[in-house]
Amino acid sequence: MIKKLSILVVCVLMGSPVWADSKRPYQDPALSDEERIDDLIARMTLVEKIGQMSQYVGIEHIQKSEKNMSIEEMQAGDAQGLYPNLHSSKIPALIERGEVGSFLHVKNPAEANLLQGYASKSRLAIPLIIGIDAIHGNGLVKGSTIYPTPLTMASSWNLDLVREANVQTAREMRANGAQWSFTPNVDIARDARWGRVGETFGEDTYLVSEMGVAVIEGLQQGDFRGPEKGLATAKHFVAGGDPINGLNLSPMDISMRSLRQDFFPPFKRAVDVGVFSFMAAHNEINGVPAHANRFLFHDVLREEWGFKGFVVSDWMDIERLKTMHRVAETQTEAVFQSVDAGLDMHMHGPDFLEPLADLVEKGRISEARIDAAVRPILLAKFRLGLFESSQVDLGEARAAMFTTEHQQTALQMAQQGIVLLKNEGQILPLKKDQKVFVTGPNADSQAILGDWVFAQPDENVTTVVEGLKALSSVPVDFYDVGSQVKSTSASAIEAAGQRAKEADVAIVVVGENALRQNHKGKTGGENVGRSSINLIGQQLDLVKAVQGSGTPTIVVLVNNRPLSEPWIVENASALIEAWEPGSLGGQAVAEIIYGEVNPSGKLPITIPYSAGHIQSIYNHKPSALVRTYVDAPSQNLYEFGDGLSYTEFEYSDLELSKDEMGPDGSVKASLTVTNAGARAGDEVVQLYIRDNFSRVTRPVKELKGFKRVSLAAGESQTVDFQVTAEMLAYYDLKMKWGVEPGDFTIMVGASSRNRDLKTGLLKVTP
Marked catalytic residue, from 314, 344, 444, 642 = 314
**Residues 157, 202 contacting (CB under 8 angstroms):** no
Nearest-angstrom CA–CA distance, 241 and 234: 14
Q: Based on the residue annotation, tell me whether 314 is a catalytic residue of this protein.
A: yes
**Residues 752, 639 contacting (CB under 8 angstroms):** yes
Q: CA torsion sign, 484 to 485 to 487 to 493?
A: positive
Question: Which residues contact residue 334 at a Cβ distance below 8 angstroms, ignoring those fewer than 6 apart?
Answer: 292, 318, 319, 321, 322, 328
- Helix 159-175 crosses helix 404-417 at what angle (to 10 degrees)? 140
Closest CA to 45 of 23, 21, 16: 16
Nearest-angstrom CA–CA distance, 398 and 145: 11
Coil, helix or strand at residue 67: helix
Nearest-angstrom CA–CA distance, 687 and 758: 10
Q: What pairs with residue 235 in β-bridges?
A: 185
Which ranges of 501-629 does DSSP label H, i.e. alpha helix?
Answer: 539-547, 566-571, 585-593
Residue 138's Cβ-side half-sphere holds a number of Cα atoms within 13 Å equal to: 35
Q: Collect contacts of 117-123 with beta carbons under 8 A, ≥24 apart.
A: 117/391, 118/92, 119/95, 119/390, 120/390, 121/95, 121/96, 122/48, 122/95, 122/96, 122/97, 122/98, 123/9, 123/13, 123/19, 123/48, 123/98
Nearest-angstrom CA–CA distance, 717 and 683: 11
Closest CA to 541 of 505, 508, 579: 508
Question: Which residues contact residue 20 at a Cβ distance below 8 angstroms, ignoring those fewer than 6 apart?
Answer: none
Q: CA torsion sign, 28 to 29 to 31 to 37?
A: positive
Question: Which residues contact residue 75 at a Cβ distance below 8 angstroms, ignoring those fewer than 6 apart?
Answer: none
Question: Which residues contact residue 251 at a Cβ distance below 8 angstroms, ignoring those fewer than 6 apart?
Answer: 243, 244, 283, 284, 287
Catalytic residues: 314
